[in-house]
Amino acid sequence: MEQMSWKMFIVTKAFLLYLTSCVFKVRVAGKLADVCATCHVNATCDDKMDGSGGKVCNCMYGFLGNGITQCQDKDECQIGAGKICGDHTVCHNTYGSFYCTCLSGYSPSNNLVIFIPNDGTQCNDIDECKVQGICGEGGWCTNMQGDFNCRCQVGYKVQNGSQPFHPHHDKAFCKAINCGQPPSVTYAVQLSEAGTRYGSVAKFGCLEGFFQKHGNNTAVCGEKGVWEGLNLVCEEIDCGEPPALLHSVMIWNKLTKTWSGSGSGERG
C-alpha cells in the first residue's frame, strides 16, 4: 500500500512539473508575441544579442528610431553627395533609401541613369565637342570639366551676346561676316568680281582719261563687316594747252582736256 502511494506521488509530481513547464513556455511565448506586436511598421522583430532568447524591435535599414513608436526615414544625402555618392554626383533621398546620379555634363561609367554607392560607378566628363555642330555654323567648341563653351571662328562674328558663349544657355550664335557690295570710287571702276564674305578682295582702276593720283586701290572685307583699306583717288588727266606750231592754226574747243587737237597750215 505504501509502495503504491509512493508511485502515485512520483507520477503526480512529474505531471505537475510538466504542467508547470508548459505554462512557463506559454507565458514566454506570449511575452515574445507581445514584444513583436509592438514593433513599428518600419521595424523588424529580432533576437536579442545577449542570448537570453528575448526579442527586440529594430528599425529597418534606412530608418531611425526606437523601433516601437518611431522609425522615421533616414536622409542619407545630408552628409553630402560627394561623400556618399562620389565626385560629380547628385544624391537623391527616397523613403527608406537613396540613389545617385551624375551631375549635368558627366556620364556614369555603368551607362545607367542611376546607381548606388560602392558599386564601382564613376561619373566621367562628357566631351560635348564630339557632337558635330554643337556650337552652330562657324562655332568653335572647347571642352571643359562638366561643361563646354563656344567661340566664333575666323570669318564669323558673335551675335546676341559675347564670347565665349553657351548655346544651351545663351541666345548668342555665330554669323558669317558679310561686308555687302564693295564701295564705289569716283572716276574708277571695279576690275574684277569680288565676294562679300570676310577676306574677299576688290580691286579698282581709274577710268580712261584719269590716273591714280594717290591711295590704295584694293579693298578687303574685314572682321568688323566693313570694307577696309580702299582710299583710291583718281584725277583727270590734264595736259594743259597744246603747244603752238609755226605756220598753223589750233582747232580746239578748250573744254575737253582729253580732246585731240589738230593744226592746219597757213597759206602764204
Peptide bond into 182 cis (omega under 30): no
Q: What is the pLDDT of residue 267?
A: 46
Where is average pLDDT lowest: 2-16, 151-165, 190-204?
2-16
pTM of the full structure: 0.58
CA distance 194 to 203: 8
Average pLDDT across the chain, whole number: 84
Q: How confident is the model at residue 194 (pLDDT cuts 50, 70, 90)?
A: confident
pLDDT at 77: 92
pLDDT over threshold 60, residue 17 = no
Binning the chain into helix, strand and coil, the percentages to the nearest 5 are 20, 35, 50
Angle (nearest 5°) at CA 148 between 145 and 149 = 140
Amino acid 248 reads: S
Mean pLDDT over residues 61-72, rounded?
Answer: 90
Residue 24 has pLDDT above 70, yes or no: no
Question: Percentage of residues in the chain with pLDDT exceeding 90?
Answer: 60
DSSP string for 162-211? -SSB-TTT---EEEE-B--SPPP-TTEEE-S---SBTT-EEEEEEPTTEE
Q: How confident is the model at residue 91 (pLDDT cuts 50, 70, 90)?
A: very high
pLDDT given at position 22: 42
> Other C-beta atoms within 10 Å of 83: how many?
12
Cell of 137: 555654323
Q: Which residue has the higher pLDDT, 162 or 23?
A: 162
Q: What are phi and psi of 21, to 5 degrees?
A: -60, -40
Residue-range domains of the chain with CATH: 2-73 (2.10.25.10), 76-125 (2.10.25.10), 129-176 (2.10.25), 188-236 (2.10.70.10)
| Of 209 and 11, the one with more pLDDT | 209
